[in-house]
Amino acid sequence: MTDQTAPLRRHRGFRRFWAASTISDGGTYISVFAVGVLIVADLGGTATDVGIVRGAGMVPYLAVGLFAGVLADRVRRKPLLVGTDLGRAVVLAGVPLLAATGHLNVPVLAALMVVFGLLSVLNAAAHQSFLPRLLPRELLPRANARLQQSDAVAQTTGPLLGGGLVAAIGAPLTVLVDAVSYALSGLLIAAVPVRDPAPRPTAMSVLAELREGASWVYRHPTLRPLALSTHGWFLFNSVFVTVYVPYAYLELSIGPMGLGVTFALAGVGALLGSSASEFLGRRVGIPGTIAGSRVIEAGGIAVIAAAASTDGTSVVVVAAAGQLIYGLGFGAEGPIELAYRQAVTPDRLQGRTNATMRSFNRAVVVVGAPLGGLLADTAGPGPALWIGSAGIISAALLLAVSGFRVASLDDQPPAESAQSR
Protein backbone atom coordinates (compact mmCIF):
# COMPACT_ATOMS: atom_id res chain seq x y z
CA MET A 1 0.00 0.00 0.00
CA THR A 2 1.46 3.34 -1.04
CA ASP A 3 1.24 6.57 0.88
CA GLN A 4 -1.04 7.95 -1.82
CA THR A 5 -3.70 5.28 -1.27
CA ALA A 6 -3.35 5.24 2.53
CA PRO A 7 -5.61 8.24 3.28
CA LEU A 8 -8.61 6.58 1.61
CA ARG A 9 -8.03 3.24 3.29
CA ARG A 10 -7.74 4.88 6.71
CA HIS A 11 -10.89 6.95 6.19
CA ARG A 12 -13.63 5.03 8.01
CA GLY A 13 -16.45 7.13 6.58
CA PHE A 14 -15.31 6.63 3.01
CA ARG A 15 -14.87 2.89 3.55
CA ARG A 16 -18.49 2.55 4.65
CA PHE A 17 -19.72 4.81 1.84
CA TRP A 18 -17.64 2.76 -0.60
CA ALA A 19 -19.05 -0.52 0.74
CA ALA A 20 -22.61 0.80 0.50
CA SER A 21 -22.10 1.86 -3.12
CA THR A 22 -20.46 -1.47 -4.01
CA ILE A 23 -23.30 -3.52 -2.56
CA SER A 24 -26.07 -1.48 -4.17
CA ASP A 25 -24.21 -1.43 -7.50
CA GLY A 26 -23.95 -5.21 -7.46
CA GLY A 27 -27.66 -5.56 -6.85
CA THR A 28 -28.43 -3.01 -9.55
CA TYR A 29 -26.58 -4.92 -12.26
CA ILE A 30 -28.37 -8.09 -11.24
CA SER A 31 -31.79 -6.44 -11.45
CA VAL A 32 -31.09 -4.55 -14.69
CA PHE A 33 -30.30 -7.91 -16.23
CA ALA A 34 -33.29 -9.58 -14.59
CA VAL A 35 -35.80 -6.86 -15.54
CA GLY A 36 -34.77 -7.03 -19.19
CA VAL A 37 -35.25 -10.81 -19.23
CA LEU A 38 -38.47 -10.45 -17.21
CA ILE A 39 -40.00 -8.18 -19.85
CA VAL A 40 -38.90 -10.18 -22.87
CA ALA A 41 -39.20 -13.76 -21.59
CA ASP A 42 -41.73 -13.74 -18.72
CA LEU A 43 -44.09 -10.96 -19.84
CA GLY A 44 -43.72 -11.54 -23.59
CA GLY A 45 -42.67 -7.95 -24.22
CA THR A 46 -40.87 -6.37 -27.16
CA ALA A 47 -37.88 -4.05 -27.48
CA THR A 48 -40.35 -1.16 -27.33
CA ASP A 49 -41.66 -2.48 -24.00
CA VAL A 50 -38.10 -2.61 -22.68
CA GLY A 51 -37.68 1.00 -23.76
CA ILE A 52 -40.97 2.06 -22.14
CA VAL A 53 -40.06 0.50 -18.79
CA ARG A 54 -36.55 1.97 -18.90
CA GLY A 55 -37.93 5.36 -19.86
CA ALA A 56 -40.53 5.20 -17.06
CA GLY A 57 -37.77 5.10 -14.48
CA MET A 58 -36.37 8.32 -15.92
CA VAL A 59 -39.67 10.26 -16.03
CA PRO A 60 -39.24 11.64 -12.47
CA TYR A 61 -36.04 13.35 -13.59
CA LEU A 62 -38.25 15.43 -15.89
CA ALA A 63 -40.85 16.14 -13.23
CA VAL A 64 -38.86 16.76 -10.06
CA GLY A 65 -35.18 16.40 -10.93
CA LEU A 66 -34.29 20.06 -10.55
CA PHE A 67 -36.36 20.38 -7.37
CA ALA A 68 -34.44 17.41 -5.95
CA GLY A 69 -31.25 19.42 -6.32
CA VAL A 70 -32.75 22.30 -4.34
CA LEU A 71 -33.86 19.84 -1.65
CA ALA A 72 -30.37 18.30 -1.43
CA ASP A 73 -28.92 21.77 -0.87
CA ARG A 74 -31.57 22.64 1.75
CA VAL A 75 -31.46 19.54 3.96
CA ARG A 76 -28.85 17.24 5.47
CA ARG A 77 -27.71 14.82 2.80
CA LYS A 78 -27.10 11.70 4.89
CA PRO A 79 -30.72 11.16 6.04
CA LEU A 80 -31.87 11.73 2.45
CA LEU A 81 -29.51 8.98 1.23
CA VAL A 82 -30.62 6.53 3.90
CA GLY A 83 -34.35 7.11 3.43
CA THR A 84 -34.30 6.80 -0.34
CA ASP A 85 -32.21 3.61 -0.25
CA LEU A 86 -34.68 1.95 2.11
CA GLY A 87 -37.59 3.20 0.01
CA ARG A 88 -36.13 1.69 -3.14
CA ALA A 89 -35.74 -1.63 -1.34
CA VAL A 90 -39.48 -1.65 -0.61
CA VAL A 91 -40.44 -0.80 -4.22
CA LEU A 92 -38.29 -3.54 -5.74
CA ALA A 93 -39.60 -6.08 -3.26
CA GLY A 94 -43.00 -5.46 -4.83
CA VAL A 95 -41.92 -7.01 -8.16
CA PRO A 96 -41.76 -10.66 -7.04
CA LEU A 97 -44.83 -10.14 -4.84
CA LEU A 98 -46.92 -8.92 -7.79
CA ALA A 99 -45.51 -11.63 -10.05
CA ALA A 100 -46.43 -14.32 -7.52
CA THR A 101 -50.03 -13.06 -7.34
CA GLY A 102 -50.38 -12.77 -11.12
CA HIS A 103 -50.69 -8.98 -11.14
CA LEU A 104 -47.40 -8.10 -12.83
CA ASN A 105 -47.45 -6.83 -16.41
CA VAL A 106 -45.56 -4.21 -18.44
CA PRO A 107 -47.74 -1.22 -17.37
CA VAL A 108 -47.54 -2.21 -13.69
CA LEU A 109 -43.78 -2.71 -13.93
CA ALA A 110 -43.47 0.69 -15.59
CA ALA A 111 -45.48 2.26 -12.75
CA LEU A 112 -43.17 0.69 -10.18
CA MET A 113 -40.20 2.08 -12.08
CA VAL A 114 -41.70 5.58 -11.89
CA VAL A 115 -41.80 5.34 -8.08
CA PHE A 116 -38.34 3.79 -8.03
CA GLY A 117 -37.11 6.58 -10.30
CA LEU A 118 -38.54 9.26 -8.00
CA LEU A 119 -36.59 7.85 -5.06
CA SER A 120 -33.50 7.54 -7.27
CA VAL A 121 -33.77 11.21 -8.28
CA LEU A 122 -33.70 12.27 -4.65
CA ASN A 123 -30.88 9.87 -3.83
CA ALA A 124 -28.74 10.90 -6.79
CA ALA A 125 -28.98 14.60 -5.94
CA ALA A 126 -27.46 13.88 -2.53
CA HIS A 127 -25.11 10.99 -3.43
CA GLN A 128 -22.65 12.80 -5.69
CA SER A 129 -22.81 15.83 -3.38
CA PHE A 130 -21.96 13.73 -0.33
CA LEU A 131 -18.41 12.71 -1.32
CA PRO A 132 -16.95 16.26 -1.23
CA ARG A 133 -18.09 16.42 2.42
CA LEU A 134 -16.27 13.20 3.21
CA LEU A 135 -12.95 13.91 1.49
CA PRO A 136 -10.68 16.83 0.58
CA ARG A 137 -10.57 18.08 -3.02
CA GLU A 138 -7.26 16.41 -3.86
CA LEU A 139 -8.60 12.92 -3.04
CA LEU A 140 -11.75 13.20 -5.19
CA PRO A 141 -10.26 11.74 -8.42
CA ARG A 142 -8.85 8.74 -6.55
CA ALA A 143 -12.03 8.23 -4.54
CA ASN A 144 -14.20 8.38 -7.65
CA ALA A 145 -11.85 5.92 -9.34
CA ARG A 146 -12.27 3.51 -6.42
CA LEU A 147 -16.04 3.84 -6.61
CA GLN A 148 -15.91 3.27 -10.37
CA GLN A 149 -13.69 0.21 -9.89
CA SER A 150 -16.16 -1.27 -7.44
CA ASP A 151 -18.95 -0.53 -9.90
CA ALA A 152 -16.92 -2.30 -12.58
CA VAL A 153 -16.48 -5.37 -10.39
CA ALA A 154 -20.22 -5.34 -9.75
CA GLN A 155 -20.82 -4.96 -13.48
CA THR A 156 -18.62 -8.01 -14.07
CA THR A 157 -20.08 -10.30 -11.43
CA GLY A 158 -23.65 -8.97 -11.39
CA PRO A 159 -24.75 -10.19 -14.82
CA LEU A 160 -23.07 -13.59 -14.33
CA LEU A 161 -24.80 -13.99 -10.99
CA GLY A 162 -27.98 -12.57 -12.50
CA GLY A 163 -27.89 -15.10 -15.32
CA GLY A 164 -27.45 -17.94 -12.86
CA LEU A 165 -30.18 -16.65 -10.57
CA VAL A 166 -32.63 -16.12 -13.42
CA ALA A 167 -31.99 -19.66 -14.61
CA ALA A 168 -32.36 -21.04 -11.07
CA ILE A 169 -35.16 -19.03 -9.45
CA GLY A 170 -36.61 -16.90 -12.25
CA ALA A 171 -36.39 -13.19 -13.07
CA PRO A 172 -38.97 -11.86 -10.54
CA LEU A 173 -37.22 -13.36 -7.49
CA THR A 174 -33.86 -12.25 -8.85
CA VAL A 175 -35.04 -8.63 -8.59
CA LEU A 176 -35.46 -9.24 -4.85
CA VAL A 177 -31.65 -9.46 -4.56
CA ASP A 178 -31.41 -5.82 -5.57
CA ALA A 179 -34.03 -4.92 -2.95
CA VAL A 180 -31.83 -6.48 -0.27
CA SER A 181 -28.77 -4.63 -1.61
CA TYR A 182 -30.50 -1.25 -1.25
CA ALA A 183 -31.54 -2.09 2.32
CA LEU A 184 -27.94 -2.95 3.21
CA SER A 185 -26.68 0.20 1.50
CA GLY A 186 -29.04 2.36 3.55
CA LEU A 187 -27.89 0.77 6.80
CA LEU A 188 -24.21 1.25 5.94
CA ILE A 189 -24.64 4.91 5.02
CA ALA A 190 -26.52 5.45 8.28
CA ALA A 191 -23.29 4.38 10.02
CA VAL A 192 -21.01 6.78 8.09
CA PRO A 193 -19.41 9.38 10.40
CA VAL A 194 -19.48 12.69 8.54
CA ARG A 195 -19.89 16.38 9.20
CA ASP A 196 -23.26 16.88 7.52
CA PRO A 197 -24.64 20.15 8.88
CA ALA A 198 -28.06 21.45 8.00
CA PRO A 199 -27.63 24.26 5.45
CA ARG A 200 -28.28 27.83 6.50
CA PRO A 201 -31.86 29.01 5.91
CA THR A 202 -32.16 30.99 2.71
CA ALA A 203 -34.47 33.78 1.68
CA MET A 204 -34.31 32.69 -1.94
CA SER A 205 -37.39 31.10 -3.45
CA VAL A 206 -37.25 27.57 -4.86
CA LEU A 207 -37.48 28.91 -8.41
CA ALA A 208 -34.65 31.34 -7.75
CA GLU A 209 -32.49 28.51 -6.47
CA LEU A 210 -33.40 26.42 -9.52
CA ARG A 211 -32.31 29.25 -11.80
CA GLU A 212 -29.09 29.70 -9.86
CA GLY A 213 -28.18 26.02 -10.19
CA ALA A 214 -29.00 25.83 -13.89
CA SER A 215 -27.19 29.12 -14.53
CA TRP A 216 -24.08 27.81 -12.81
CA VAL A 217 -23.97 24.79 -15.15
CA TYR A 218 -25.04 26.32 -18.46
CA ARG A 219 -23.12 29.59 -18.16
CA HIS A 220 -19.90 28.01 -16.93
CA PRO A 221 -17.26 28.09 -19.71
CA THR A 222 -16.28 24.43 -19.30
CA LEU A 223 -19.26 22.82 -17.52
CA ARG A 224 -21.63 24.01 -20.26
CA PRO A 225 -20.00 22.11 -23.15
CA LEU A 226 -19.43 19.11 -20.90
CA ALA A 227 -23.10 19.08 -19.92
CA LEU A 228 -24.37 19.44 -23.49
CA SER A 229 -22.06 16.72 -24.79
CA THR A 230 -23.06 14.42 -21.95
CA HIS A 231 -26.74 14.95 -22.74
CA GLY A 232 -25.99 13.80 -26.29
CA TRP A 233 -24.08 10.81 -24.96
CA PHE A 234 -27.04 9.77 -22.79
CA LEU A 235 -29.43 10.06 -25.73
CA PHE A 236 -27.49 7.70 -27.98
CA ASN A 237 -26.25 5.44 -25.21
CA SER A 238 -29.85 4.86 -24.13
CA VAL A 239 -30.56 3.59 -27.65
CA PHE A 240 -27.74 1.07 -27.22
CA VAL A 241 -28.74 -0.01 -23.70
CA THR A 242 -32.39 -0.46 -24.68
CA VAL A 243 -31.66 -2.45 -27.81
CA TYR A 244 -28.92 -4.69 -26.48
CA VAL A 245 -30.92 -7.17 -24.36
CA PRO A 246 -33.57 -8.02 -26.99
CA TYR A 247 -30.85 -7.92 -29.69
CA ALA A 248 -28.60 -10.38 -27.86
CA TYR A 249 -31.43 -12.50 -26.45
CA LEU A 250 -33.60 -12.78 -29.57
CA GLU A 251 -31.45 -12.04 -32.63
CA LEU A 252 -28.09 -13.41 -31.47
CA SER A 253 -29.82 -16.18 -29.47
CA ILE A 254 -27.07 -16.33 -26.85
CA GLY A 255 -29.39 -17.15 -23.93
CA PRO A 256 -29.33 -15.87 -20.33
CA MET A 257 -25.85 -17.18 -19.49
CA GLY A 258 -24.35 -15.92 -22.75
CA LEU A 259 -25.96 -12.56 -22.12
CA GLY A 260 -24.50 -12.55 -18.62
CA VAL A 261 -21.02 -13.32 -19.99
CA THR A 262 -21.13 -10.36 -22.39
CA PHE A 263 -22.29 -8.01 -19.63
CA ALA A 264 -19.52 -9.34 -17.41
CA LEU A 265 -16.89 -8.49 -20.04
CA ALA A 266 -18.18 -4.91 -20.01
CA GLY A 267 -17.49 -4.95 -16.29
CA VAL A 268 -13.96 -6.26 -16.85
CA GLY A 269 -13.37 -3.45 -19.32
CA ALA A 270 -14.78 -0.88 -16.90
CA LEU A 271 -12.49 -2.16 -14.14
CA LEU A 272 -9.44 -1.84 -16.38
CA GLY A 273 -10.54 1.59 -17.60
CA SER A 274 -11.25 2.97 -14.15
CA SER A 275 -7.91 1.64 -12.89
CA ALA A 276 -6.19 3.70 -15.59
CA SER A 277 -8.41 6.80 -15.37
CA GLU A 278 -6.36 8.75 -12.84
CA PHE A 279 -3.16 8.10 -14.84
CA LEU A 280 -4.85 9.09 -18.10
CA GLY A 281 -6.23 12.24 -16.50
CA ARG A 282 -2.70 13.28 -15.56
CA ARG A 283 -1.00 12.30 -18.83
CA VAL A 284 -3.67 12.97 -21.46
CA GLY A 285 -5.60 15.62 -19.57
CA ILE A 286 -9.25 15.75 -18.59
CA PRO A 287 -10.61 16.80 -22.03
CA GLY A 288 -8.63 14.15 -23.91
CA THR A 289 -9.54 11.41 -21.47
CA ILE A 290 -13.28 12.08 -21.61
CA ALA A 291 -13.58 12.66 -25.38
CA GLY A 292 -11.23 9.78 -26.22
CA SER A 293 -13.06 7.40 -23.90
CA ARG A 294 -16.35 8.16 -25.61
CA VAL A 295 -14.86 7.37 -29.01
CA ILE A 296 -13.72 4.01 -27.59
CA GLU A 297 -17.24 3.35 -26.27
CA ALA A 298 -18.70 4.02 -29.71
CA GLY A 299 -16.20 1.57 -31.21
CA GLY A 300 -17.35 -1.10 -28.78
CA ILE A 301 -20.99 -0.61 -29.81
CA ALA A 302 -19.96 -0.91 -33.47
CA VAL A 303 -18.27 -4.26 -32.74
CA ILE A 304 -21.44 -5.47 -31.02
CA ALA A 305 -23.50 -4.45 -34.07
CA ALA A 306 -21.14 -6.50 -36.26
CA ALA A 307 -21.76 -9.63 -34.13
CA ALA A 308 -24.97 -10.31 -36.09
CA SER A 309 -22.87 -11.20 -39.15
CA THR A 310 -21.12 -14.04 -37.28
CA ASP A 311 -22.45 -17.41 -36.21
CA GLY A 312 -21.90 -20.17 -33.68
CA THR A 313 -19.74 -19.47 -30.68
CA SER A 314 -18.23 -16.50 -32.53
CA VAL A 315 -21.40 -14.55 -31.78
CA VAL A 316 -20.77 -14.58 -28.04
CA VAL A 317 -17.05 -13.88 -28.54
CA VAL A 318 -17.65 -10.84 -30.76
CA ALA A 319 -20.45 -9.44 -28.58
CA ALA A 320 -18.29 -9.93 -25.47
CA ALA A 321 -15.34 -8.22 -27.18
CA GLY A 322 -17.55 -5.26 -28.04
CA GLN A 323 -18.77 -5.00 -24.45
CA LEU A 324 -15.17 -5.18 -23.22
CA ILE A 325 -14.17 -2.26 -25.45
CA TYR A 326 -17.27 -0.30 -24.44
CA GLY A 327 -16.48 -0.93 -20.77
CA LEU A 328 -12.89 0.31 -21.17
CA GLY A 329 -14.09 3.69 -22.35
CA PHE A 330 -16.87 3.89 -19.80
CA GLY A 331 -14.55 3.07 -16.91
CA ALA A 332 -11.86 5.55 -17.96
CA GLU A 333 -14.29 8.43 -18.44
CA GLY A 334 -16.53 8.27 -15.38
CA PRO A 335 -14.21 9.06 -12.44
CA ILE A 336 -12.49 11.95 -14.24
CA GLU A 337 -15.73 13.59 -15.38
CA LEU A 338 -17.34 13.39 -11.94
CA ALA A 339 -14.23 14.52 -10.07
CA TYR A 340 -13.92 17.58 -12.32
CA ARG A 341 -17.54 18.55 -11.76
CA GLN A 342 -17.25 18.12 -7.99
CA ALA A 343 -13.95 20.02 -7.82
CA VAL A 344 -15.08 23.16 -9.66
CA THR A 345 -18.49 23.46 -7.93
CA PRO A 346 -18.94 25.19 -4.53
CA ASP A 347 -20.43 22.99 -1.79
CA ARG A 348 -23.64 25.04 -1.57
CA LEU A 349 -24.29 24.36 -5.28
CA GLN A 350 -23.28 20.70 -5.35
CA GLY A 351 -26.82 19.34 -5.07
CA ARG A 352 -28.25 21.62 -7.74
CA THR A 353 -25.31 21.12 -10.11
CA ASN A 354 -25.56 17.34 -9.89
CA ALA A 355 -29.35 17.39 -10.13
CA THR A 356 -29.31 19.74 -13.12
CA MET A 357 -26.95 17.56 -15.11
CA ARG A 358 -28.52 14.27 -14.05
CA SER A 359 -32.05 15.55 -14.68
CA PHE A 360 -31.35 16.59 -18.24
CA ASN A 361 -29.28 13.46 -18.82
CA ARG A 362 -32.16 11.28 -17.71
CA ALA A 363 -34.66 13.44 -19.55
CA VAL A 364 -33.03 12.56 -22.85
CA VAL A 365 -33.17 8.88 -21.81
CA VAL A 366 -36.95 9.25 -21.63
CA VAL A 367 -36.73 10.05 -25.34
CA GLY A 368 -33.81 7.83 -26.28
CA ALA A 369 -34.98 4.58 -24.66
CA PRO A 370 -38.37 4.35 -26.43
CA LEU A 371 -36.71 5.67 -29.60
CA GLY A 372 -34.19 2.84 -29.46
CA GLY A 373 -36.98 0.33 -29.02
CA LEU A 374 -38.95 1.75 -31.95
CA LEU A 375 -35.86 1.78 -34.15
CA ALA A 376 -35.15 -1.85 -33.27
CA ASP A 377 -38.74 -2.94 -33.92
CA THR A 378 -39.01 -1.07 -37.24
CA ALA A 379 -35.57 -0.86 -38.84
CA GLY A 380 -33.96 -3.69 -36.89
CA PRO A 381 -31.60 -3.77 -33.91
CA GLY A 382 -28.47 -3.62 -36.07
CA PRO A 383 -29.23 -0.21 -37.59
CA ALA A 384 -30.30 1.06 -34.15
CA LEU A 385 -26.92 0.06 -32.72
CA TRP A 386 -25.06 1.78 -35.58
CA ILE A 387 -27.07 4.97 -34.96
CA GLY A 388 -26.15 4.83 -31.28
CA SER A 389 -22.46 4.43 -32.11
CA ALA A 390 -22.44 7.29 -34.63
CA GLY A 391 -24.24 9.61 -32.22
CA ILE A 392 -21.75 9.00 -29.41
CA ILE A 393 -18.79 9.66 -31.71
CA SER A 394 -20.36 12.92 -32.86
CA ALA A 395 -20.92 14.09 -29.27
CA ALA A 396 -17.31 13.21 -28.38
CA LEU A 397 -15.83 15.12 -31.30
CA LEU A 398 -17.92 18.20 -30.56
CA LEU A 399 -16.70 18.12 -26.95
CA ALA A 400 -13.08 17.86 -28.07
CA VAL A 401 -13.26 21.12 -30.05
CA SER A 402 -15.43 23.03 -27.55
CA GLY A 403 -14.44 25.32 -24.69
CA PHE A 404 -13.98 22.19 -22.58
CA ARG A 405 -10.67 21.55 -24.34
CA VAL A 406 -8.90 23.78 -21.74
CA ALA A 407 -10.49 22.15 -18.66
CA SER A 408 -8.21 21.24 -15.74
CA LEU A 409 -8.76 19.88 -12.25
CA ASP A 410 -7.04 23.03 -10.97
CA ASP A 411 -9.85 25.20 -12.33
CA GLN A 412 -11.39 27.37 -9.61
CA PRO A 413 -14.97 28.69 -9.48
CA PRO A 414 -15.36 32.46 -9.86
CA ALA A 415 -15.19 34.14 -6.46
CA GLU A 416 -18.69 35.57 -6.68
CA SER A 417 -20.18 32.15 -7.45
CA ALA A 418 -18.84 30.69 -4.24
CA GLN A 419 -20.31 33.38 -2.02
CA SER A 420 -23.59 33.03 -0.20
CA ARG A 421 -26.37 35.18 -1.54
Residue pLDDT, tens place only, 66-93: 787 777 777 788 889 999 999 999 999 9
Closest CA to 34 of 259, 250, 254, 248: 259
pLDDT on residue 136: 77
Confidence of residue 297 (pLDDT cuts 50, 70, 90): very high
Residue type, 379: A
Query: pLDDT by residue (tens digit) across 401-419?
Result: 998 998 876 665 554 433 3
| Position 58 pLDDT exceeds 80 | no
Mean of pLDDT values over 259-277: 85
Residue 155 has pLDDT above 90, yes or no: no
Mean pLDDT for 275-285 is 86
Number of neighbouring beta carbons within 10 Å of residue 412: 10
pLDDT at 290 over 90: yes
Phi then psi for 44, rounded to 5 degrees?
Answer: 65, 30
Higher pLDDT, 25 or 312: 25
Provide the pLDDT for residue 394.
Answer: 95
State how far Cα 123 lies from the chain centre: 13
Burial of 260 (0-12, 13-18, 19+ CB in 10 A): buried
Average pLDDT over residues 178-195: 90
Ordered by where they begin, the domains of the chain are: 8-190+205-410 (1.20.1250.20)
At 198, is the pLDDT very low, low, confident or very high (cuts 50, 70, 90)?
A: low
What is the pLDDT, as a whole number, of residue 295?
Answer: 96
- Segment 294-305 mean pLDDT: 95
Contact 294, 240 (CB under 8 A): no
The pLDDT, as a whole number, for residue 410 is 67
